[in-house]
Amino acid sequence: MSRILLIEDHDRLAQLMCQGLAAAGIAADVIGRIDAAWAAVQRMPYQALVLDRGLPDGDGLVLLQKVRHAGLGVPCLVLTARDALHDRVEGLEAGADDYLPKPFAMDEMVARVRALLRRPVEFRSLAPSHGDLTLRPDAGVLCCAGESVTLAPAEMHIMLLLLRKPEEVVRRSALEAEAWGLNEAVTPNALDVALHRIRRKLLAIGSRQRIVNVRGLGYALREDDVAE
């Protein structure tokens, strides 16, 4: 269920890294430029960043500094061909949580990412809840008053985003990006199908929460007595 952002402009290396991460159950969106990665970080609540320093539009640490100045605590593993002591110190002072010089063993990279994902993030609950609902990502279930229902991975990501922003309207594009990532092609009605399934599951466990369509804006998680 983990999703990270890999900022790496070397296509072959990025492909190999994604394969290694996927084998460990970690999905990765790949972006090769600082400006596009910054836009993605603001749009998606990634659980970790894997950041190359040598990017076409500058030093990857520029992105990391922007992330930290924005108050985002997402853990970050910095990759670089620069292995001098002052380079490692520079990366850590910019806000990196870990530093891995190139070339590296793929198993070690995956192990370091998994270690970052195990670190607690103070502001993010491991079992987000709202109203009568509690989501348990570790078990892949949605719970209400002793009842539970299994969610598919895309459904889990959608509920995670809605529960992080209860009562708020979330745009369709944000839900699609959360559920399937930025790189995966999505059929036009994939989100509608996933929302239909979630709505049926909410009814099955007796929840008062509903996913409502706010016309022209997006979707929101609200109690049925205030649903539009």
Bridge partners of residue 100, in order along the sequence: 79
pLDDT in tens, 7-31: 999 999 999 999 999 999 899 999 9
Please indicate, yes or no, whether residues 21 and 106 belong to a single structural domain of this protein: yes
Shared-domain flag, residues 86 and 8 = yes
How far is it, in rounded angstroms, from Cα 224 to Cα 113? 40
Are 22 and 85 found together in one domain?
yes
Q: Which domain range does residue 101 map to?
A: 2-118
How is residue 9 written in tokens?
Answer: 């402009």
- Average the pLDDT over each of 22-36, 64-78, 104-118, 195-209 and give the range with the smallest value: 64-78
Same domain, 113 and 6: yes
- Give the model confidence (pLDDT) of 88-101 as tens digits: 777 777 888 888 88
Tell me the average pLDDT across 142-170: 88
Tally of structural domains, the chain: 2
pLDDT at 109: 94
Residues 68 and 153 in one domain: no
Position 33 confidence tier, pLDDT thresholds 50, 70, 90: very high
Helix segments in 73-189, DSSP class H: 85-93, 106-118, 153-164, 172-180
pTM score of the predicted model = 0.58
Single out the residue in 118, 137, 152 at which a domain terminates.
118
Tell me the Cα Rg of the chain.
19
Contact partners, residue 71, CB within 8 Å, separation at least 6? none
Provide the 8-state DSSP code for 170. Answer: B
If asked whether residues 71 and 142 sit together in one domain, one would say no
Rounded CA-CA distance 41/4 in Å is 10
Q: What is the CATH number of the domain that holds 138?
A: 1.10.10.10
pLDDT at 63: 94
Q: Please report the pLDDT score of residue 71 as a whole number.
A: 74
> What letter does residue 207 receive in the DSSP assignment?
-
Residue bearing the bigger pLDDT, 51 or 80: 51
Residue predicted with more confidence, 73 or 35: 35
How sure is the predictor about 141, in pLDDT bands with cuts at 50, 70 and 90?
Answer: confident
User: Domain end: 87, 118, 149, which one?
Assistant: 118
Q: Of 120 and 104, which is predicted with more confidence?
A: 104
| Cis peptide, bond prior to residue 120, ω within 30 of zero | no
**Residues 94, 28 within the same domain:** yes
pLDDT score at 101? 87
Is residue 123 in some structural domain?
no
- Specify whether 161 is located in the same domain as 80: no
Query: Residue 123 above 50 pLDDT?
Result: no
Residue 39 is encoded by which pair of tokens? 């836009």
